[in-house]
Amino acid sequence: MGSVIESLHQQLVNKEISCEALVKGKLDALKASDYNASNYILDDYALDLAKKVDAKIAKGERIGLLEGIPFGVKDVYLLQGTYSSASSDFLRKYNSPYTATAIQKLLDAGAIPVAKENCDSFGHGSSSENTVFGPVKNALDKGKVAGGSSGGSAVNVAKDFTTFSIGGDTGGSIRQPAGYNAIYGLKPTYGKISRFGLMAYASSTDCVGPIAQELDDIRIVLNTMSGKDVKDQTTFASEAIAEEAVSTGLAKGTKIGYYKNFIETEALDPAMKKQFKDMLAKLEAEGMEIVPLDFFDADILVATYYALAMAETASNLARLDGTNYGVREEGESLKEGYSVTRSENFTAETQRRIVGGNQVLSQGHSEEIYNKALALRAQISHHFDEDFKNVDLILSPVTPNPVPEIGNNLKDPMTMYLSDAYTVGFSLGGLPTLTAPLALETGVQITAAKRQEAKLFSCANFLKQVL
């Protein structure tokens, strides 16, 4: 089983490479890069840690599997000693007062953060163009978008500037950029990894997750970050996923579902439709049972997701008014000061979402929009519960279309929102779902019932073998 982490670990233990050289190599590559993938490069911070790892090795002490492994952090996680900007002017010089639980667990395991990574501001976007640090460029084609919102994290991994990166996924922000840059990206079951220290976008669907070139590295990093955290009441205790989950395939007769309306639609690119059907045919030939399923229209999923996500982000970002966090502009009155601070330091897309969210929540509209979206969400979740009584896994495209050129999304937010059609439903259901860089141009999305991450690994490995 391929694992970059494992192979670097062996090289460190065998003294074939020093940790300082490994980390310096990544830092130099990050600095020389023109992909706009990193907001801050953590030079001294990372080199100090690398020297400590080398000292341990020199003394003959044992080092853990993740010790000395360089990784990237989406710039929406707090990491004490670094700025956490959320790719906004608001927080450009905001010093992290503490470290997010998920990142702390990686630090405790000895992994070394080398960059805070560019993303759509506060997670608002699907292309990593909604950022004050310049649009992130796709790792495979610089004229195209990186995807978003965790675009910088995906590009750094795809270019090998980081061994793995930690993204955040509210409605597809790990899976979609992973697909656009042809690597693996996992959104775990909601609550499997603590959100403490992740800047909240839509708290009810926000998830922490790993991005990596190899499936086994996704597993290693997931196991390290998972678990109950008293600082996030939605977390639950979970068992580590064994290596066998990755190396075993799927038993004959495994029931693989797909949503007919996701595939039999004009909205799906014809070449990608064919790639998806070819994949199903191969799986059938391998003895899998393919089960067509009915589902909600993609438009309903997108509308439900955006009504709730905007409402939640409007509430979450109300705390940014110039008083406690980031910049403060003065006005004639306190109220005007708030207003100037917020209008000058949020991007246009973030302002659109705050205005939309407050509208959704306002008196007279909330019953019609917010409560309706909550009711629909309950129906969507129930639908998933029923589907997973009949199938083991659900496969779908990650996106309806190939990777867009830089510049197009900004002109038309509606088209951008619709590009999330295949990812947002699974977020509303809190399900574990993985992008594998296989079969389709922007990857295939593998989804299982809650807490069934192990099945995603077996399926991805199987697909890799048979496609």
Find the residue with minimal CB distance to ligand GLN.
Answer: 173
* HSE-up of residue 367 (Cα within 13 Å, Cβ side): 2
Question: CB of 152: closest distance to ligand GLN in angstroms?
Answer: 13
Handedness of CA 330, 334, 340, 346 (dihedral sign): positive
Give the nearer residue to ligand GLN in terms of CB position, either 58 or 318.
Answer: 318
Give the nearer residue to ligand GLN in terms of CB position, either 169 or 232.
Answer: 169
Which residue out of 85, 87, 88, 149 is catalytically annotated? 149
Give the nearer residue to ligand GLN in terms of CB position, either 214 or 420.
Answer: 420
Element (H, E) at 168: strand 164-169
Give the nearer residue to ligand GLN in terms of CB position, either 409 or 458.
Answer: 409
One-letter amino acid at 109 equals: A
Q: Which two tokens stand for residue 211?
A: 């991005």
Question: CB of 129: closest distance to ligand GLN in angstroms?
Answer: 12
Question: CB of 200: closest distance to ligand GLN in angstroms?
Answer: 11
Question: CB of 125: closest distance to ligand GLN in angstroms?
Answer: 5
**In Å, what is the CA distance from 385 to each residue of 160, 391, 430, 449, 456?**
38, 10, 11, 8, 17
Which residue out of 84, 88, 128, 173 is catalytically annotated? 173
DSSP annotation of 228 reads -
Give the nearer residue to ligand GLN in terms of CB position, either 129 or 169.
Answer: 169
Residue 97 near residue 65, CB atoms below 8 Å = no
Residue 121 near residue 131, CB atoms below 8 Å = yes
Among 431, 444, 420, smallest CA distance to 178 is for 444
β-strand partners of 137:
145
Element (H, E) at 91: none
Which residue out of 3, 18, 74, 192 is catalytically annotated? 74
Give the nearer residue to ligand GLN in terms of CB position, either 123 or 322.
Answer: 123
Give the nearer residue to ligand GLN in terms of CB position, either 87 or 235.
Answer: 87
β-strand partners of 257:
291, 394
Among this protein's residues, is 173 annotated catalytic?
Answer: yes
Question: CB of 393: closest distance to ligand GLN in angstroms?
Answer: 22
Among 139, 118, 140, smallest CA distance to 129 is for 118
Question: CB of 298: closest distance to ligand GLN in angstroms?
Answer: 14
Binding site for ligand GLN (CB under 6 A): 123-126, 149, 169-173, 201, 309, 420
Residue 156 near residue 165, CB atoms below 8 Å = yes
What torsion, rounded to 10 degrees, do the Cα atoms 294, 299, 301, 307 define? -160
Q: Which two tokens stand for residue 182?
A: 């042809």
Which backbone phi and psi does 37 adopt, to 5 degrees? -90, -15
β-strand partners of 169:
207
Alpha helices in 362-412 (DSSP H): 370-390, 408-411
One-letter amino acid at 406 equals: I
* 192-201 as b/e: b if 16+ CB within 10 A: bbbbbbbbbb
Distance linking the first and last C-alpha atoms of the chain? 17
Question: CB of 204: closest distance to ligand GLN in angstroms?
Answer: 12
Give the nearer residue to ligand GLN in terms of CB position, either 308 or 436.
Answer: 308
Among 410, 395, 384, 399, smallest CA distance to 445 is for 395
Question: CB of 71: closest distance to ligand GLN in angstroms?
Answer: 19
Question: CB of 138: closest distance to ligand GLN in angstroms?
Answer: 16
Rounded to whole angstroms, the Cα distance separating 251 from 286 reads: 10
Residue 177 near residue 123, CB atoms below 8 Å = no
Among this protein's residues, is 149 annotated catalytic?
Answer: yes
Rounded to whole angstroms, the Cα distance separating 222 from 3 reads: 14
Give the nearer residue to ligand GLN in terms of CB position, either 169 or 216.
Answer: 169
Active site residues: 74, 149, 173
